[in-house]
Each structure stands twice: as C-alpha cells, then as structure tokens.
Amino acid sequence: MDRLSRKFLRARKIPGTACSGCGLGQVHKRILLAIEGLGLGKDDLVWGTGIGCAGRQTFNTWLGDNFAGTHGRVYALAAGLRMALPRERRIVLTVGDGDAFGIGLKHLLNCARRNLDLTVIVADNLGFQSTGGQYGPTTPPGAVTDSSPYGLDEAGWLGPDLDILEILRAAGATFLARHLSLDGQGSVESVKAAILNPGFSLVHFIYPCVTHFGAVSLAERDKGRVLAWFREAFGDGPGEPGGGAGEGPGPRVGTGFLKFGRGVFHSAPGSRPDYSEQVKDWTRKMARGQGGGLATGNTP
C-alpha cells in the first residue's frame, strides 16, 4: 500500500479488482490526491458507487461511509442523501460511462437540473467492458466491439457532432471538466474544484481499458501503444480538440471524433441555487410552524 491508500482506503480492498494496466486506478488515485489536497478526512465525505468496472474498483474502498446503487440509480440515492446530510459532508460518486451516460442518464440530468451539491466522477472506458466489451454511449465511431463486429456506426455522446458535457451544461450543471486518467496535477485540480463547487459537478475521466477496448477495438496488446492512441484521441493539452486523421496504433479506430478535448469545460459556481438547500430551508420553516402542517420538531 502507498501513502494514499493507508490514509483513505480499506486495506483488504488493496490491490483493487481492475486488470493489470487498466487506467481505472489512476482515476481513483487522482480523486484521493484531490481529497488529500483539500485537507478532507474520512468523516468529511460519503462515497457512492455505481455498477461496472468503475463501481467495482471503488466499491466500499473508502475508509469512511460508502453506499452503492443499482445500475444507473446511485444518483437518485445521492439526491436523497444530499437533502438529509449537512452541506459540510461532501458526496462523491464514482461511476462508469454506461452507468452515467446510458442507463442512469435521466437521473443524472435531474441531479444537474436541481444543481444538487454532488461530485460525480465518471471513469469512462469507452464501452461496456466489465461484461466483455460491448459498445456503449461513448464508444468512438467505427470501433469494433463484441456488439459492433463491423464497426460502430451509431452516433455517440463523444462526437463527432455531440458532446455529453454540452447536454449536462444545458441541464444546469455548474462545474464540468474532462481529463485523461494519465493527466497530471491539472486533473487533480479539476477534482478539487468539483468537490468545492456548491452545486452539481462532474469530472469526466477517459481511461484505457487495455483488456477489451485496447485489445479488440484498437487491436493492440502493447499497453504503451494503447496509451499513445488515448493521448492522440483526447488531445495533447487542456482544451485542445482531439487529434486529426491520426497515425494511431488502431487501424480500425480514428482519432478525430472529439468536439472538446481536455480541461475545464464549464465553471459557474454559485450561479444557480442548490435545490437541497432550498428543501432544508423549507423544512426548517415548516418545523417552526411557519408553513403549517409539518411542525413536528423532526428537523434535519
């Protein structure tokens, strides 16, 4: 174990469940670096997990309180918790692309609409990888997967003409960023800003699945060349668009599909109210008898 895991994680969960060379642990590490950087401890934060590789890697690892949702439903649980817990207790969710942008998208958008003070970290492996490598809502165009053997011809949330971050901004999210799991301190700073934002925040981390996306879609078993494809596809620097035609290793997947590369996409802390705070105010007023009906003393 290292410093971070000794400080923040349960020893019996180390090493994690991810495949050798999977970038998921890099995402996990950047979240812990942000928590450490903000000086938060195990009692300051409640950690929720979704289903899939991302949920499994982080499930019940946090030394403090944990909760897990069924597939795509952890946002609804977090919404309830947000209304019950005081603002000082942060809520961080680690979920995958299928969970957040597929089956759970409606719940996610409703959390953004209410600007609930949640930090959603989407660890995106570009498809449904824990079930063996089927395409999902962020799989790049043309990718060969178990369920797209001739190459994916369906529009995805990662371009060429759409970007899920645009949808989330339109839905009311107040902090949005995108990074690669290999990014340095900039990605840690984005997670910190997400945790500090008193509203709905989402950091979209793309990470290499070496076992399915790398080996099948890119037809590349050399982990170094898989990483090179990710660097090219997701831009060389913050905010730069994904690369052009591409000399990447994957002859079957081009790299010019992305609308927005890496960095902070949208930051507007305090621009909209957090609905959970409104609910708490209302409940307090009711408890004082100002609203009639609910004066039971059962204050949150």
The C-alpha atoms of residue 55 and residue 125 are separated, in whole angstroms, by: 12
Q: In the complex, what is the shortest distance from the CB of residue 82 to ligand SF4, in angstroms, rounded to a whole number?
A: 28
289 binds, among ligand SF4, other proteins, none (CB under 5 to 8 A by kind): none
198 binds, among ligand SF4, other proteins, none (CB under 5 to 8 A by kind): none
182 binds, among other proteins, ligand SF4, none (CB under 5 to 8 A by kind): other proteins
Using CB under 8 A as the binding rule, whether residue 23 contacts other proteins is answered as yes
Q: In the complex, what is the shortest distance from the CB of residue 289 to ligand SF4, in angstroms, rounded to a whole number?
A: 54
Q: In the complex, what is the shortest distance from the CB of residue 255 to other proteins, in angstroms, rounded to a whole number?
A: 21
Q: In the complex, what is the shortest distance from the CB of residue 213 to other proteins, in angstroms, rounded to a whole number?
A: 15
127: Cβ contacts below 8 Å, ≥ 6 apart: 97, 98, 133, 134, 135, 136, 138, 139, 143, 145, 209, 212, 213, 217
Please count the residues of the chain.
300
The C-alpha atoms of residue 116 and residue 274 are separated, in whole angstroms, by: 5
- E-only strand ranges, the chain: 45-49, 66-68, 90-96, 119-124, 175-180, 201-206, 263-267
Inter-residue contact 39 to 59 (CB < 8 Å): no
Report the interface residues with ligand SF4, using CB under 6 A.
18-19, 22, 24, 53, 125, 129-130, 209-212
Using CB under 8 A as the binding rule, whether residue 15 contacts other proteins is answered as yes
Considering only CA atoms, which of 205, 128, 200, 125 is closest in space to residue 167?
200
Site for other proteins in 194-223 (CB under 8 A): 223
Q: In the complex, what is the shortest distance from the CB of residue 207 to other proteins, in angstroms, rounded to a whole number?
A: 9
Q: Which residues on neighbouring strands pair with residue 49, listed in sequence order?
A: 68, 94
Using CB under 8 A as the binding rule, whether residue 293 contacts other proteins is answered as no
169 binds, among ligand SF4, other proteins, none (CB under 5 to 8 A by kind): none
Q: In the complex, what is the shortest distance from the CB of residue 44 to ligand SF4, in angstroms, rounded to a whole number?
A: 28
The nearer residue to other proteins, 53 or 258, going by C-beta atoms, is 53
31: its two tokens:
């979240």
108: Cβ contacts below 8 Å, ≥ 6 apart: 75, 100, 101, 120, 168, 202
Inter-residue contact 233 to 247 (CB < 8 Å): no
Inter-residue contact 202 to 175 (CB < 8 Å): yes
Binding mask 82-111 for other proteins (x = CB under 8 A): ------------------------------
Site for other proteins in 222-281 (CB under 8 A): 223-224
Using CB under 8 A as the binding rule, whether residue 113 contacts other proteins is answered as no
Q: Which helix (H) or strand (E) holds 27?
A: helix 24-37
Q: Contact positions toward other proteins, by CB under 8 A? A: 1-5, 9, 14-16, 18-26, 29, 181-182, 184, 223-224
